[in-house]
Structure 1
């Protein structure tokens, strides 16, 4: 039934939270904290949503996925079922046992089915308000309410009215302090803007971290080229579920690549830059949605976080790593033999085995030793090292000398004039397997 919340959904969510709580205990040994994500997707509007969903599913062990919600958007203004989503999850179910051979933490297909729900069936703010709760909006509330300090990142691959309905209900039914607590855990990564709900949220709830990504084209491999044919679509049930590109390839993928825990960035520090792009710390007014959304001026002024001037170039700089990651995971999906696929190296810096961004206090004019010699590869492949200064997020914008830039141990010469500045040093480690797989670490040198 439209806009109803069933007891079955509540029970399923309770079981899901228990399952994830137990699973998180085993994840502790991985030395990284999984990001919590919810996807809202306007499946059926453009094949790129299906493409992005396939990529998400083969890297599902990297996240705590807490909701897959069918949504509307300016190119798909009504929805009434989850059939397209169900088919993708079913394809995952045919591959998950293979995936589990190659990586810990892949969710069961039963779990993913339990969190695959309908959201708002109508379009934009016209479907937000009294009596318009949906399983999707209720799921968002239940996720944020969970006793877990980690924020919840909602990726809006279509419109944002499921998030808007969740906020609307919390505001109507809770105290101001409870609303503030709720909003403090919410993060929104909006792809291009595909309804007027995003402007409503940004206008009325400016405390919400709201990113509107517009630099989502230009990072992808060639449209319907050899990479898609040979490395993705030829690979089993999930490859068969990856459609040809019609307009643009995987336009929604940056929403979860921003929080991909690969050691490259802290998603909360949106100016650092990673697989999902780089964003300015200063909010921008009037970032308009796609052309069919014509009424956002009603909410002026509204402020959102925007891409930095590099746009999609801030994603594309990592293209070998994320393309090979996807290709290798598609290999995982079709074999239960660990030896027949490649696996990611583990980057260790100065004894730190986590995937966290490291901050190191240093003295201007001195040399800093960075040691990655304890890095390893699960397949015993040889490792290659590269150390570099990532200038765009650094406050120090000039070159620095790195002795041993292609060795396991590097020496960074912090310039005399760098006092009060920070230098973002990126370590890339890649193996000699097929395809080459990468691990990253970011070390922020804070010069005194």
Structure 2
């Protein structure tokens, strides 16, 4: 009874603090392309969670962050407090005023503190069930329940039993129709599988968009880069630890939804900074070996997994995301706008949003694309590059692009491409230091040509 009263007090405190901080929370992006995310992290298991959290914090203006939940995983099966998370948010608090000089939308440190909470304190499905609700699982439910059409992406940097507990409670307390609505808004990006909860979710609730990313190594920057551009930069650099194993293994969970114009996160096969994933689910993608036999209880289960490109689907964009991180760390240490570089804005055929564009064209025709109107806030010179992104395209032949390095380009749609789609990417960057990138993707649906 004492534990129940204590939990009730904690939950009321959490809800109250979130309500108080709402005025500091950024409003949804006017273009509707600011993703809603919740991060669950097994901080303390490996320094890479701290590393990924620093990158997330300097990118915080790009997302509606609705939860930072301390979780468990196979390498840290028990958690007791938010101390490590609080230290990182405290470092952000020292930098946020500088960050706000360089871009709009950074949340206040007070708001982030209000959503920095404990999730399941125990491991995997052993800590899921009746009476095992936590502030973390309740936050997930409250977030998905909001009157907001955007899906909620939960990044599983450790295990995913907070998500499992949320689903457990909704199933136990609501109708089938209400459960279905809840699940339809939920997305899970699971890094490597670090408990058996993911298998339970995938087995019992196949309608949930559940990605298990295993191609999360080999894309990250070098130790030398980190020392020069990240760790040397102020309070947030000071809490970015040296790697023990791999660097930033959890970062792809939010890079997948990073709204840079490159991909629509719900179209998981498009490819972006977080990788590229098959549209056909794979059976029983295994967790990390430490999970062992408990996950086998749910065989077979189906999840979305990486394409054969693995981490190469991330690494192809390495210059852009490395420079993005470096520039944002520059922002964190200067309150003078002119002392840092800022991102250009890519416009295609007059569209100023960051959404993926869809056009139709006849086989054998020509598609005209224009980046006229693209701009740079620092008045830097822009370099344009139009390319055919073959891997996500259903057309596998060659596509010729005339004037591919100019602001306007002409794409020759092959005569044998009818019924296929062609993915084209505009990648532009400025000549600032470091060069910063912006993207737009255009998907051409090819119709039958004129006879």
Judge conservation of contact 2:24–2:107 (CA < 8 Å) in 1: no
Structure 1 residue 332 displacement after superposition: 0.2
The question of 1:305 aligning with 2:301 is answered no
Q: Is there any run of 5+ residues in structure 2 with no aligned partner, and where? A: none
Q: In structure 2, how many angstroms separate the alpha carbons of the residues matched to 1:15 and 1:208?
A: 32
Q: In structure 1, how many angstroms separate the alpha carbons of the residues matched to 2:229 and 2:142?
A: 38
Deviations 1:342-383 (A, max 9, x none): 000000000000000000011110111100021000000000
The question of 1:365 aligning with 2:364 is answered yes
Name which of 250, 254, 262 aligns with 2:252.
Answer: 254
Please name the residue that 1:436 is paired with.
Answer: 435
Structure 1 residue 15 displacement after superposition: 3.9
The normalised TM-score by structure 2 is 0.96
Please name the residue that 1:400 is paired with.
Answer: 399
Judge conservation of contact 1:144–1:152 (CA < 8 Å) in 2: yes
Q: In structure 1, how many angstroms separate the alpha carbons of the residues matched to 2:22 and 2:412?
A: 48
Q: In structure 1, how many angstroms separate the alpha carbons of the residues matched to 2:433 and 2:266?
A: 33
Please name the residue that 1:265 is paired with.
Answer: 263
Q: In structure 1, how many angstroms separate the alpha carbons of the residues matched to 2:19 and 2:193?
A: 32
Structure 1 residue 62 displacement after superposition: 0.1
Judge conservation of contact 1:2–1:134 (CA < 8 Å) in 2: no
The question of 1:58 aligning with 2:63 is answered no
Structure 1 residue 130 displacement after superposition: 1.3
Structure 1 residue 32 displacement after superposition: 4.8
Judge conservation of contact 1:390–1:424 (CA < 8 Å) in 2: yes
Equivalent residue of 1:100, what SS? helix
Structure 1 residue 11 displacement after superposition: 1.8
Please name the residue that 1:24 is paired with.
Answer: 27
Q: In structure 2, how many angstroms separate the alpha carbons of the residues matched to 1:441 and 1:147?
A: 29
Equivalent residue of 2:126, what SS? helix
Please name the residue that 1:143 is paired with.
Answer: 143
Please name the residue that 2:80 is paired with.
Answer: 80
Equivalent residue of 1:202, what SS? helix
Q: In structure 1, how many angstroms separate the alpha carbons of the residues matched to 2:50 and 2:429?
A: 29
Q: In structure 2, how many angstroms separate the alpha carbons of the residues matched to 1:359 and 1:343?
A: 28
Deviations 1:164-184 (A, max 9, x none): 001101111111111111111
Q: In structure 2, how many angstroms separate the alpha carbons of the residues matched to 1:384 and 1:271?
A: 27
Name which of 262, 283, 286 aligns with 2:284.
Answer: 286
Structure 1 residue 9 displacement after superposition: 1.3
Please name the residue that 2:12 is paired with.
Answer: 7
Please name the residue that 1:235 is paired with.
Answer: 233
Structure 1 residue 2 displacement after superposition: 6.5
Judge conservation of contact 1:32–1:356 (CA < 8 Å) in 2: no
Judge conservation of contact 1:327–1:435 (CA < 8 Å) in 2: yes
Q: How many residues align?
A: 441
Q: In structure 2, how many angstroms separate the alpha carbons of the residues matched to 1:255 and 1:113?
A: 21
Equivalent residue of 2:46, what SS? coil
Please name the residue that 2:102 is paired with.
Answer: 102
Please name the residue that 1:410 is paired with.
Answer: 409
1:221-232 paired onto structure 2 within 5 Å? 221-222=221-222, 224=223, 226-232=224-230
Q: In structure 2, how many angstroms separate the alpha carbons of the residues matched to 1:15 and 1:177?
A: 32
Deviations 1:140-189 (A, max 9, x none): 01111111111000000000000000110111111111111111110000
Structure 1 residue 19 displacement after superposition: 4.9
CA distance 1:2–1:16, shift in 2 (3 Å): farther
Judge conservation of contact 1:32–1:261 (CA < 8 Å) in 2: no
Q: In structure 1, how many angstroms separate the alpha carbons of the residues matched to 2:62 and 2:42?
A: 23
Structure 1 residue 12 displacement after superposition: 2.4
Equivalent residue of 1:305, what SS? strand
Q: In structure 2, how many angstroms separate the alpha carbons of the residues matched to 1:261 and 1:291?
A: 33
Structure 1 residue 14 displacement after superposition: 3.3
Q: Is there any run of 5+ residues in structure 1 with no aligned partner, and where? A: none
Please name the residue that 1:134 is paired with.
Answer: 134
The normalised TM-score by structure 1 is 0.97
